[in-house]
Amino acid sequence: MESAQGEVETSGVSALKKWGPLGLLVVAAVVVIIVVVSGGGGSDDTANETGSTASSESSQAESTEESSADAQEETSEATEVEETQTAEEETPVSEDCPTAGDARDDLLDGVMFYEEAVTRCIADGIEWGERCDEETGLLKLPTSNPPACFAPFEGDNGGATARGVTEDSINIVYWRWQENDFILKYITGPIANDDTNADAEASLRGMLEYYETYYETYGRSVNLIFYEGTGLISDEVSARADAVKIAEEYDPFMVWNGPTLTNAFEDELVSRGIACLSCGPSQDIEYYRENDPLAWAFGMSAVQANLIASEYVGKQLAGRNAVYAGDLDYQNQPRVFGRLWIESGEASVQNEGDFEDNLAEYGVEVVESVAFTLDPASLQEQASSAIAKFKAAGVTTVMFSGDPISPRDFTREATAQGYYPEWVHIGSVLADTNIFARTYDQDQWANAFGITTLSARVDPAISGAPFRYKWFFGEAAPADDSLGVIDPWPATFYPIIQGIGPDLTYENWKTALDSADPTRQGLTSGSFSWGETGRWPAELEYDFFGGDDVTVFWWDATKEGFDEADTLGPGMYFFADGGQRYLFGEIPEEDIVLFDRETASDIYMEWPEGEAPNEYDPLPSGG
């Protein structure tokens, strides 16, 4: 299956969303360093490509494979549209409409999508417009998971339904880090990314135009305020000052993105009643409950990431020999686990304790746990001490959760000390991208494998946000290198407001998410959901975090290929079983095959079977 040759099973694909798929995100690409704050748990945090995502927040152009577009109003007969605008309208069961009894009663007023219109036997009476493929009931977008067509809206949308909302606009602030932020530059140094903030702004405005050409926005367009931060991504004082200025001068409906190393920005905005969509590093679940419905995140919570990571270790690694270690002696003995994790505050310590408690439930003992901090001045010293401890404790298998920079120091030090364990990737941010993994000691990273929220890659010439931008505008995006980590915000926002309808409020934002099924799961796309989905243990209650699944992958130090910046070189991640994804509770007991190119994919040069998008010509800008 190497490079996507041959057929791939897609039996794991779930049903489409009830009101059309949310834009799919690669969480680890979205958040650059969420682990720096949430520590032992995993991504969320955009982090991002996201989530990648780590999500988390920024800095690597990992392709966001599935997004979808949004709308400009299309004209139709007012009477026909009005027929579709009340979701609670009842269509009596009759010979003329035998399916009317299956009509839904949980859509918000003014919302009607194609499949539901068919159920109510009213689809033929609606002018769906050029953006809709009426053969499929989906928008004419070149993505493998396009959203449903929604009935064009006419009439009174209620005007100022919420703060930052008028009859024809929605104020959105997109926060962007300073171009001279030396902390971010240290983290993203290995990436050949020359995109400026001006490039990013122009590209984001272009993507809004793309979305609003296709999605139904009920007479409103986003009024984008592009805001450059006034301090470093770790500076609490400037972060809070930025939030105050945004609230008082721009009064937005919502803020996208934020400083990735402090929660002060999000805290200040939410305290002022302004909604945040991944405005910073992930916070604990109680924070989201207390601030419901204003705070939302792309990636898994640390608690969720801990659960699925411990399940992977317990089912796939525990009780087996360390067969993937570089040391032959290790290969012939049962695994002895060590833990290397980034400490960034009290929450990270708590998360790590929870993870090790979860492992204990699978009978897994961590014989040596080492915390480190992302401090360039002391990282080498920390690496020397950590490797000496692991080696002395006989650790065969190092479970790593951290940032994308520190593995360079730890792996080089391991080689210097003649120590060759297995390296297990557990919820790190951007360490699961080729562009960063190529900077690590390859004698060490050749023994690396684990889980990632990223999905199997597809040739960027046929997929991802940069591809869709070029398809729509006929030229590359100004921020071609980083568009993949910008796009998740509009890609998530537009599908949700399409499901909300004309009465745009924070409460209806939550209601729309509650009525939506999880997005479709495929080899090249993870599944996202919010609300009460039943995917996580009942004690987690309502889910404010989007990402739900992972795939297993491994590093091939000799395979040549293109990294996420389109640079040809040796070293590629391979996705086991072509990118098969697992929800919590689905990781099998039987061995998942690793280090076998024939059963894995590094990058699909063609879409896998069942996931190829339809081909369409783009609509003129403005619909």
pLDDT tens-digit series, residues 248-277: 999 999 999 999 888 999 999 999 999 999
Of residues 93 and 108, more confidently modeled: 108
Q: Does residue 217 lie within any of the structural domains?
A: yes
Are residue 103 and residue 174 in the same domain, yes or no?
no
Q: Does residue 488 lie within any of the structural domains?
A: yes
Is 70 exceeded by the pLDDT of residue 19? no
Model confidence band, residue 428 (pLDDT cutoffs 50, 70, 90)? confident
Are residue 95 and residue 64 in the same domain, yes or no?
no
Q: What is the pLDDT of residue 566?
A: 82
Q: What is the pLDDT of residue 76?
A: 35
Model confidence band, residue 374 (pLDDT cutoffs 50, 70, 90)? confident
d(CA 543, CA 533): 8
Q: Which pLDDT tens digit goes with each residue over 320-363?
A: 999 999 999 999 999 999 999 998 778 789 899 999 999 999 99
Determine which of 62-76, 98-112, 123-137, 210-224 has the lowest per-residue pLDDT on average: 62-76
Are residue 150 and residue 219 in the same domain, yes or no?
yes
Q: Which pLDDT tens digit goes with each residue over 104-115?
A: 988 999 999 999
Tokens, residue 422: 């297995």
Are residue 160 and residue 146 in the same domain, yes or no?
yes
Is 70 exceeded by the pLDDT of residue 44? no
Are residue 83 and residue 179 in the same domain, yes or no?
no
Are residue 120 and residue 214 in the same domain, yes or no?
no
Q: Does residue 147 lie within any of the structural domains?
A: yes
Q: Does residue 112 lie within any of the structural domains?
A: yes
Is 60 exceeded by the pLDDT of residue 17? no
**What's the domain count of the chain?**
2
Determine which of 6-10, 76-80, 451-455 has the lowest per-residue pLDDT on average: 6-10
Domain boundary among 65, 95, 127: 127
Are residue 205 and residue 354 in the same domain, yes or no?
yes
Q: Does residue 524 lie within any of the structural domains?
A: yes
d(CA 50, CA 452): 10
Residue 12 near residue 265, CB atoms below 8 Å: no
Q: Which pLDDT tens digit goes with each residue over 59-70?
A: 222 333 333 333
DSSP string across 278-313: S-SS---HHHHHHTTTSEEBSS--HHHHHHHHHHHI
Q: What is the pLDDT of residue 54?
A: 28
0.75 surpassed by pTM:
yes
Is 80 exceeded by the pLDDT of residue 83? no
- Residue 119: is it exposed, middle or buried by C-beta count within 10 angstroms (0-12/13-18/19+)? middle
Model confidence band, residue 194 (pLDDT cutoffs 50, 70, 90)? confident
Model confidence band, residue 622 (pLDDT cutoffs 50, 70, 90)? low
Are residue 385 and residue 526 in the same domain, yes or no?
yes
**379-392 helix and 406-416 helix, angle to the nearest 10 degrees:** 50
Is 60 exceeded by the pLDDT of residue 46? no
Are residue 225 and residue 99 in the same domain, yes or no?
no
Q: Which pLDDT tens digit goes with each residue over 493-514?
A: 999 999 999 999 999 999 999 8
Q: Which pLDDT tens digit goes with each residue over 519-575?
A: 889 999 999 999 988 999 988 889 999 999 999 999 999 999 998 878 899 999 999
Q: Does residue 329 lie within any of the structural domains?
A: yes
Tokens, residue 366: 């961590």
Model confidence band, residue 4 (pLDDT cutoffs 50, 70, 90)? very low
Q: Which pLDDT tens digit goes with each residue over 129-140?
A: 999 999 999 999
Domain interval for residue 160: 1-74+128-618
Q: Does residue 304 lie within any of the structural domains?
A: yes
Is 90 exceeded by the pLDDT of residue 58? no
Model confidence band, residue 484 (pLDDT cutoffs 50, 70, 90)? confident
Q: Does residue 623 lie within any of the structural domains?
A: no
Determine which of 28-32, 219-223, 234-238, 540-544 has the lowest per-residue pLDDT on average: 28-32
Are residue 209 and residue 121 in the same domain, yes or no?
no
Are residue 393 and residue 505 in the same domain, yes or no?
yes
Strand 549-562 to 448-452 pairing = antiparallel
Are residue 105 and residue 145 in the same domain, yes or no?
no
